[in-house]
Amino acid sequence: MAFQYKDGQNYTVDDLVEIIAKLRSPGGCPWDAEQTHESIKKNLIEETYEVIEAINKADSDMLREELGDLLMQVVFHVRLESEKGGFGLDDVADTVCRKLIERHPHVFADTQVSGVGDVLANWDAIKRRSKGHDNRSDAMLGVPRELPALMRSAKIQQKAASAGFDWPDIVGALEKLEEEIGELKQALASGDEAACREELGDILFSAVNVSRFAGCEPEEALTEASDKFIARFMKLEHLIRQKGLSMESMSIEELDSFWHIAKSEKA
């Protein structure tokens, strides 16, 4: 049956499935018809970040729209699979329902928990068992390499910590960060490009470890630092223009003096 428009009525998830099918079918949209998992995978990432933006802005209307865009991406990928005889949307729902039931035995079975700590421990153990991870290294390898690097390193460190491989407190993590900075200085002095890259990576990895002890999410902390830099840079430009000067004609020492002024003022 051809898709029917619903004048004045609300559409449903089933309607979305039909719309994507029509767009992909002969006589539909040429662009949609030629897409593949590979060609649209970046869209899934972009839509996910736009959902995060809506959450950060506490904008419910924006969140509704962006969740819709994200859902459309999910339905599109499902359609690509169903066209070649693979899974459908109900299969995706079945998979996640079974996962949720399995990983919440304190809700759907008779497992007893004393709090959130037990819930997380059970979740981790069940996840490792279901994925066939016999050891912590397997669990680390299971962290997608495609994640943002800071997020991936934080997840890897959490898995190491859950196995007891961790500093007793933040002091050890800070000392390790200082040690890695010293090693980067040595690499820079040697002019070894590969060593510099390696040591810089170690510094970032160590900084993420410090953030874990400090209770800060590294991706968010870096985003806020970038926002702060932009705000101060805007203030810097404003101060320089007020003086009738040009950044391009100023020395780094002069720029730095204005930077300190901008830093001391609220941008």
DSSP tag of 143: S
Annotate 3-21 with b (16+ C-beta within 10 A) or e (fewer): eeeeeeeeeeeeebbbebe
Q: Both tokens of residue 120?
A: 């997380």
**pLDDT over 90 percentage in the chain:** 85
Q: What would the mean pLDDT of 126-143 be, rounded to a whole number?
A: 86
66: Cβ–Cβ under 8 A, 6 or more apart, which residues?
Answer: 47, 50, 51, 53, 54
Task: Tell me if 212 sits within 8 A of 157, measured CB to CB.
Answer: yes
Q: Is the pLDDT of residue 266 over 50?
A: yes
Q: Where along the chain do its domains lie?
A: 13-101, 149-215, 221-264
Per-residue pLDDT at 90: 97
| 128-132, 138-142, 161-165, 199-203: range with highest mean pLDDT | 199-203
Does this model's pTM top 0.85? My answer is no
Q: What is the CATH number of domain 149-215?
A: 1.10.287.1080
- Closest by alpha carbon to 163, among 124, 132, 127, 126? 124
What are the tens digits of pLDDT across the range 191-234? 999 999 999 999 999 999 999 999 999 999 999 999 999 999 99
Q: Is the pLDDT of residue 267 over 50?
A: no
Alpha-carbon distance 66 to 57, whole Å? 12
Per-residue pLDDT at 124: 84
- Closest by alpha carbon to 34, among 85, 88, 83? 83
Same fold, 13-101 and 149-215: yes
Per-residue pLDDT at 4: 73
Orientation angle between helical segments 89-103 and 116-130, nearest 10 degrees: 130
- CATH topology assigned to domain 13-101: Helix Hairpins (1.10.287)
Per-residue pLDDT at 131: 85
